Amino acid sequence: MPKGYWVSAYRTISDPAKLAAYSQLAGPAIEAGGGRVVAHDAGIAERTVLIEFDSFEQAVAARESAAYQEALVALSDGVERDFRIVEGID
């Protein structure tokens, strides 16, 4: 079964406090959904995060979970990012 990945590229961070609040909630929600941060880069212009799940379906379910939705509310308009869920190649 192919793995699932969350790929987030943060273009701008306009409110670091909202990002911090999101991170406090998102970390446990992602772990509860079976996700593992496998790479992150805090580059000069943007930040990129890669999270791995055992399956694509698990990645989608974690994104839709109530706990992660709460994290998104905390984040609100604090960042501009490109968020994708992609399926690995088996």
pTM of the shown model: 0.91
CATH of the domain at 82: 3.30.70.100
Whether the per-residue pLDDT at 83 is higher than 80: the answer is yes
For the chain, what is the domain count? 1
DSSP state of 45: S
Whether the per-residue pLDDT at 47 is higher than 90: the answer is no
Q: How confident is the model at residue 42 (pLDDT cuts 50, 70, 90)?
A: confident
Instruction: Provide the domain limits for residue 25.
Output: 4-87
pLDDT in tens, 2-32: 999 999 999 999 999 999 999 999 999 999 9
DSSP state of 55: S
